[in-house]
Amino acid sequence: MHGADEEEEATAAVRGPRVSVASTQTDSMAGQIPRLSKVNLFTLFSLWMELFPSTEQRKKSQVKKSGLVVVKNMTIIGLHCSSTDLHAGQIALIKHGSKLKNCDLYFSRKPCSTCLKMIVNAGVNRISYWPADPEISLQNEASNPVTTGDAKLDAKAVERLKSNSRARVCVLLQPLVCYMVQFIEETSTKLDFIQKIAKSQPDFNTDFYTACRQERIKEYESLFLISNEETHKQILMTIGLENLCENPYFSNLRQNMKDLVLVLATVAASVPVFGCFGFYSSEPQPTNETCHQGLPQEIARHCMVQARLLAYRTEDHKTGVGAIIWAEEKSRGCDGTGAMYFVGCGYNAFPVGSEYADFPHMDDKQKDREIRKFRYIIHAEQNALTFRCREIKPDERSMIFVTKCPCDECVPLIKGAGIKQIYAGDIDAGKKKADISYMKFGELEGVSKFTWQLNPCHPNAVEFHDPTMRENGVQKTKSIDDQQHQHKKLCLGHY
């Protein structure tokens, strides 16, 4: 996954007070757009992986589900989450084995001693975790008389393992650059996913996005933050972070965590759960082969949000694009992601090894220079294919998620690589712009295309698509009401 900037390894790795003071964004800000640092991107991915939709019914237990990102040389090589039987750390060990040597692991919760001892044993370089409730929940302990004490004992064991190991076990958070959240909000409303819904709304409004975002914020704050400051302090003390309990470190840490949760919620809402919108194929399915069957909507949406997160690492200040490739094994694995496994990801950027400043960075007024940019920029799909960590197997269902319509340069690459499915927006499909064209996507055959649209099989969708119905004011209003009613119901449900 990657772009040109081989940025220095983050300097914010800390066990103590420096967490919110010494850390700075190491990225070049020459493009003057707010970007996510790699460390923050990995952290956000770990939180997001904890939310990977699961069909398994989780039993009420003191072990909390956890998300995990495995990073080698600053590139993601694994995305995992706990399953019913196994913890995320155990899954990483099964999937990567001794290849975990020198990797950096980002957990959405501090791992338990069972996971930590095996990971440390595999020779990882660094283990970073989100400083809220750990995998063996301390938050629930007080209310669970049977297990009282177990979580604290485990926390002690984790501390002993940590102090005796070569691997650094730390909290790795960086403050966001200014206006990051506002920038995400603004850019989100311009996306295919929001635009298509807005067109179906009275007066083309995007209020539904604000509503979805509020829902997400509430939900993720309750999952990833600890509302009560005292409880949070108690947990930090138990997991060996007593030096973060003093102010200003404590309040800075909480603010930093809150901001990241806000980013996650804002990005997640940009591919909203709304009415009958989703990723559907407009063409009749070519065959009954499983290779061409679409994913469940919540999984497709989850992967698209991953691509959206990647887009905020772009080096192209005008349009950030993210792409991520997943594939599915023949049989269900032990991972919380089911049979799905991560193949590669990328965002649009200048070639690796080049200086960011070597290429023209043009604004909208410099149209002729802008044309030149497209001779240099590596597209998100191209980076995802180049820096993939697994082969694309011809007999497996492989899929790429791209935040906008793949261009004519990328469509033949995706097909040639043997990818079976494309999930994308298609507002640009069929368009020819000065420097980039999207003519090939519509004609592409042999690769299934799932584009963001109203479910074509849903009766309401027919009303929306039929132009004669649009002229009928009564019909139209009614269907919008239905739509909003549906929206309310869906928004209340868990994502």
Instruction: Find where tokens 């905020």 sit.
Output: 312
Indicate the helix (H) or strand (E) that contains 345: strand 340-347
Are 2 and 75 within 8 A, CB to CB?
Answer: yes
Those residues whose C-beta lies under 8 Å from the C-beta of residue 124, and which sit 6 or more positions away, are 100, 101, 102, 103, 104, 105, 167
Among 105, 235, 405, 410, binds Zn ion (CB under 5 A): 410
Give dist(CA 297, CA 229) in Å, integer.
37
- Our CB check for Zn ion shows the closer of 124 and 268 to be 124
Site string for Zn ion, 286-305 (x = CB under 5 A): --------------------
- Our CB check for Zn ion shows the closer of 47 and 176 to be 47
Q: Which residues pair with 277 in a beta bridge?
A: 454
Q: Which residues of 85-124 are buried (b: 16+ CB within 10 A; e: fewer)?
A: ebbbbbbbbebbeeebeebbbbbbbbbbbbbbbbbbebeb
- Radius of gyration for the alpha carbons in the chain, expressed in angstroms and rounded: 23
- Count of alpha carbons within 13 Å of 291, Cβ hemisphere only? 15
Q: Say what angle helices 207-224 and 249-268 make with each other, to 10 degrees.
A: 140
Residue 219 as a binder of Zn ion (CB under 5 A): the answer is: no
Strand pairing class (126-129; 168-170): parallel
- Our CB check for Zn ion shows the closer of 298 and 409 to be 409
- Our CB check for Zn ion shows the closer of 89 and 175 to be 89
Please, what is the minimum distance in Å from the beta carbon of residue 442 to Zn ion?
Answer: 15
Give dist(CA 421, CA 400) in Å, integer.
6
Name the DSSP letter for residue 338: T
Q: Which stretch binds Zn ion (CB under 5 A): 28-36, 108-116, 196-204, 330-338?
A: 108-116
- Our CB check for Zn ion shows the closer of 358 and 435 to be 435
- Our CB check for Zn ion shows the closer of 34 and 111 to be 111
Of residues 420-439, those binding Zn ion (CB under 5 A): none
381 an active-site residue?
yes
The helix/strand/coil state of 329 is: coil
**How many CB atoms lie under 10 A from the CB of residue 135?**
27
Please, what is the minimum distance in Å from the beta carbon of residue 384 to Zn ion?
Answer: 11
Of residues 378-407, those binding Zn ion (CB under 5 A): 379, 407
- Our CB check for Zn ion shows the closer of 41 and 410 to be 410
Site string for Zn ion, 114-143 (x = CB under 5 A): -x-------------------x--------
Q: Which residues pair with 402 in a beta bridge?
A: 323
CB-count exposure of residue 165 (10 Å: 0-12, 13-18, 19+): middle
**How many CB atoms lie under 10 A from the CB of residue 83?**
21
Of residues 49-68, those binding Zn ion (CB under 5 A): none
Structure tokens that stand for 342 in this block? 């991560």
Among 219, 259, 409, 482, binds Zn ion (CB under 5 A): 409
Number of residues that bind Zn ion (CB under 5 A): 10
| Phi-psi category of residue 275: left, alpha or beta, with phi > 0 → left and psi -120 to 50 → alpha | left
Q: Which residues pair with 398 in a beta bridge?
A: 327
Please, what is the minimum distance in Å from the beta carbon of residue 453 to Zn ion?
Answer: 21
Please, what is the minimum distance in Å from the beta carbon of residue 437 to Zn ion?
Answer: 10
Of residues 70-89, those binding Zn ion (CB under 5 A): 87, 89
Instruction: Find where tokens 């804002």 sit.
Output: 266
Name the DSSP letter for residue 311: H
Q: What is the largest CA-CA distance in the chain?
A: 73
Catalytic residue among 135, 215, 315, 381: 381
Please, what is the minimum distance in Å from the beta carbon of residue 154 to Zn ion?
Answer: 9
Please, what is the minimum distance in Å from the beta carbon of residue 114 to Zn ion?
Answer: 5
C-alpha 235 chain-centroid distance: 27
Among 36, 51, 105, 112, binds Zn ion (CB under 5 A): 112
Q: Which stretch binds Zn ion (CB under 5 A): 110-118, 245-253, 341-349, 451-459?
A: 110-118
- Our CB check for Zn ion shows the closer of 243 and 437 to be 437
Please, what is the minimum distance in Å from the beta carbon of residue 136 to Zn ion?
Answer: 7
Q: Which stretch binds Zn ion (CB under 5 A): 113-121, 165-173, 388-396, 416-424?
A: 113-121
Give dist(CA 478, CA 101) in Å, integer.
59
- Our CB check for Zn ion shows the closer of 392 and 491 to be 392
Q: Which stretch binds Zn ion (CB under 5 A): 104-112, 164-172, 198-206, 310-318?
A: 104-112
Please, what is the minimum distance in Å from the beta carbon of residue 297 to Zn ion?
Answer: 25
Of residues 338-367, those binding Zn ion (CB under 5 A): none
Please, what is the minimum distance in Å from the beta carbon of residue 116 to Zn ion?
Answer: 7
Q: Which stretch binds Zn ion (CB under 5 A): 31-39, 262-270, 371-379, 427-435?
A: 371-379
Amino acid at 336: G
Of residues 305-334, those binding Zn ion (CB under 5 A): none
Q: Which residues pair with 129 in a beta bridge?
A: 107
Residues carrying an active site annotation: 381
- Contacts with Zn ion by CB under 5 A lie at 87, 89, 111-112, 115, 135, 379, 407, 409-410
